[in-house]
Amino acid sequence: MAQVFHVHPDNPQARFLKQAVQILHDGGIAAIPTDSSYALVCHLDDKAAAESLRRIRGVDDKHHLTLLCRDLSELASYARVDNRQYRLLKSATPGRFTFILEATKEVPRRVSHPARRTIGLRVPEHRVTQDLLALLGQPLLATTLIPPGETEPLNDPQEIEARYDKLLQVIVEAGACSMEPTTVIDMTGEEPELLRQGGGDATSLGL
């Protein structure tokens, strides 16, 4: 049964977030709010937790997982970023964008793209997510909270609790999130390529 923490979206109670982070350190899977939707997350370095995350989400190891990073500096430790890419990233973070970049050796091979060695990364603009990342001290491995066989993410905290109480170790509730997915930009080529238009405004980046 999941521990459920009800926190304020703009001023979350630190004592609850510290307990949630400890559960993540211990191998737990959590549902947390972000600026795009609720997400399933686990500790980046925990192989068993990552496998559980995929199983709960109903995806195989070919499905791209995302790293939620606290800031651009942390992102640059897990992805190779040149000066041109850095300027674009700086103008778009934090925000509702996911960037596909070449992974560094800091990223476990099992969570990067098996052939291209790439990884999706983002810097969420949500106080609860940011505070969790600050307490954890490293990125979270994440996937959108979409039930297997469905196409829309869950947005109602009560529904999340009802459907995932026995599957997760912790649920951090902070009210409803946006239902719009992130905008996905592939930055591994010579020029950035828009793969999906979502909550982030790609035109502001010249795409």
Query: pLDDT tens digits, residue range 101-158?
Result: 999 999 988 888 777 889 999 999 999 999 999 999 999 999 999 999 999 899 899 9
Within 8 A by CB and 6+ apart from 138, the residues are 44, 45, 74
Amino acid identity of residue 154, one-letter, is L
Mean pLDDT of 49-77: 93
Write out the residue range of the structural domain in which residue 13 sits: 3-205
Structure token digits, residue 1 = 């049964």
Interatomic CA distance for residues 114 and 116, integer angstroms: 6
Write down the pTM of the prediction: 0.95
Distances (CA, A) of 118 to 16, 144, 153, 167, 185: 34, 18, 24, 29, 12
Cα 172 from chain centroid (whole Å): 14
Please report the pLDDT score of residue 171 as a whole number.
Answer: 98
CATH of the domain at 113: 3.90.870.10
Q: What is the mean pLDDT of the chain?
A: 94
Q: Is 120 helix (H, G, I), strand (E, B) or coil?
A: strand
Contact 124, 198 (CB under 8 A): no
Residue 186 three-state SS: strand
What's the structural domain count of the chain?
1
